[in-house]
Structure 1
Amino acid sequence: MSTYLTKRLLYMLLILFGASMLIFFLYALTPGDFVSGNLKMSAERKAELRELYGLSKPVFERYLIWMKNVFQGDFGYSLAQQKPVLTLFNEYVWNSFLLAITSTFLTWALAVIIGVISAYKQYSWFDTLVMIAIFAAMSIPSFFIGLFLIKILAVDFKWLPPGGMLTTGSNATGWAYYKEVLHHMALPVIVMTLLGVGSLTRYFRSNMVDVMKQEYIRTARAKGLKEKTVLYRHALRNALLPAITLVGFELPGLFGGSLIIEKIFNWPGIGQLYMQSFGARDYPLLMGFTFFLAILTIIGTLLSDILYHVADPRVKL
């Protein structure tokens, strides 16, 4: 295990080095930036700011300075927000994480339950309804589902607030604050769960269908084991193994935010800030956040590989 981890860490460093070069030069060589795109500034002021922020230096020298700062825990300074990038991460990323972790838990729980039942009752009326719902959920755009539920649940029935994280002018503290946040996050969580549960349910169903046809399932039934034991202890455990691979890709998604959902529901998350940075050409924030997602992706793949080995000892690292 230690030898494997050492090799993987070396690979991770090489991959991060390549990703850092790609990310930096992609943004650095893009025409325009926050200073040159600001029409309210005079030419003298623009030149002064470009010199102050180091934008007038050669690209490769800027890359070396940026990487040196990254190794010191400094991801840069947002020109549009006038704050350090890590400070903005701390302000916005946890709002996105709150939505993502809740919707991910609900998505996986529903997908496993529905997928197992649908595979066990293959070609039944339940399975048919599930497949119809899956393809419907996968084909409908996220913005349509979001706007539709806002119309029904927020406008017509007034059960849930249409957007935001807190009520306008709210000074709630303590439990009242948490209750208000939960009330506001209910609608975006419902939409994110509906969007994710379809494809994941189909994935679990297909895995369960394949596992249920294996010889060891027939052997377990021939031994007289209870159907519940065969289904959950033998079939489900092996059907979940391929899904471990997906865990690695969930990690950057937890902190990456949902661009469309946060925009529709006016949720103050990192996804909406990321889109605003594109419009302002705030490249330091864009580079820092993209590199942050690259780090999470590499860590996630390492975790999924280790978890796969833990879940199935037959798999060699």
Structure 2
Amino acid sequence: MGSYLSKRVSYILIILAAASVMIFCLYAMTPGDFISSNIKLSAERKAELREIYGLNKPVLERYWTWLTHALQGDLGYSLAQQKPVLSLFNDYIWNSFLLAAVSTFFTWLIAVIVGVIAAYRQYSWFDTVVMIVIFAAMSIPSFFIGLFLIKVFAVDLHWLPPGGIITTGSNATGWAHIKEVIAHMALPVTVMTLLGTGSLTRYFRSNMIDVIQQDYIRTARAKGAKEGRVLFGHALRNAMLPAITLVGFELPALFGGSLIIEKIFNWPGIGQLYIQSFGQRDYPLLMGFTMLIAILTVLGTLLSDVLYRIADPRVKL
């Protein structure tokens, strides 16, 4: 395990180095930036700012400067937001993480339970209804579901707030603040759970159908084991093995934010900030965020490989 991890870490460093070069060059060679696109600045002021922030230097020199600072924990300064990039991450990324973590928990919980029952009762009315709901949820765009829920629960019934993370002007603290945040995140979490549950339920259903037909499942039933223990204690464990590979994609998703959902519900997350930065051509923030997602992606793949080995000792790394 130790030699495998050291080898994978060396590969990760090489991949991240190559990714940083490509990402930086891509943003650096894109025409325009925040300063040149700002019509409020005079030509002299633009030239002065480009000199201050080193934007008039060669690309490789600028990359080396960025890399040197990044290795020291400094991802640059956002010209549009007038804040360090890491400070902006700290302000926004945890809001996205809260939304994604809660929705991921409910997505996996519902997908596992519904997928197992649908596989056990294959071709029954329950399985038919589940498949219809799954395909319906996967075919309807997220923005339509989000706007529909806002119309019903916020506008018509007044049960839930339409957006934001807290009520405007609220000074609530303690448990009152927690309840306020929960109320505001109910609708976006519902939409994200509906969108994620469909494909994941199909995944667990198909895996469970293959597993419950294996000989060791028949043997467990022949020994008199309860059906619940057979399904969730024996079959589900092996059906979960292919799903472990999906864990690697969950890690960047937890911190990457949902671009559409955050925009619809005005949720102050990193996804909405990312979209806003594109329009403002705030390349330091875009570079820092893209590299963060790259790091989380390679770490996620490493985590899924290690978890697969832990779950199934027969797998050789």
TM range (shorter): over 0.9
Deviations 1:108-152 (A, max 9, x none): 000000000000000000000000000000000000000000001
1:221 corresponds to which residue?
221
Alignment of 1:267-306 (within 5 A): 267-306=267-306
Q: TM-score, normalised by structure 1?
A: 0.99
Which residue does the alignment assign to 1:172?
A: 172
| Runs of at least 4 residues off by over 4 Å | none
C-alpha distance in 2 between matches for 1:276 and 1:47: 24
Percent of residue pairs identical:
77
**Which range is displaced more, 68-77 or 136-145?**
68-77
* Mapped partners of 2:81, 2:259: distance in 1: 19
Equivalents in 2 of 1:295, 1:284: separation in Å? 17
Aligned partner of residue 57 in structure 1, secondary structure: coil
- Alignment map for 1:240-251 (pairs within 5 Å): 240-251=240-251
Paired residue for 2:32? 32
- SS class of match (1:116): helix
| Alignment match, 2:59 | 59
Give the structure 1 partner of residue 103 of structure 2.
103
Aligned residue in 1 for 2:91 = 91
Unpaired runs of 5+ in structure 2? none
Q: CA deviation at 1:244?
A: 0.6
User: What CA distance in whole angstroms lies between the structure 2 residues aligned with 1:23 and 1:68?
Assistant: 16
Which amino acid in structure 2 is aligned with residue 307 of structure 1? Answer: L
Partners in 2 of 1:53 and 1:144 — Cα distance? 42
User: What is the distance in 2 between the residues matched to 1:55 and 1:259?
Assistant: 29
One-letter amino acid of the structure 1 residue matched with residue 28 of structure 2 = A
Alignment partners' CA distance in 2, 1:177 and 1:224? 51
Q: Which residue of 1 aligns with 2:261?
A: 261
TM-align CA RMSD? 0.7
Aligned to 2:200: 200
Q: Secondary structure at the match of 1:132?
A: helix
Tell me the distance in 2 between the aligned counterparts of 1:276 and 1:211.
46
TM-score if structure 2 supplies the norm length? 0.99
1:114 matched to which residue of 2?
114
The Cα of 1:221 is off from its aligned counterpart by: 1.8
Q: CA deviation at 1:217?
A: 1.2
User: Structure 1: which amino acid aligns with 2:168?
Assistant: T
What is the SS of the residue equivalent to 1:241?
A: helix
In the TM superposition, what is the alpha-carbon distance from 1:222 to its structure 2 partner?
Answer: 2.3
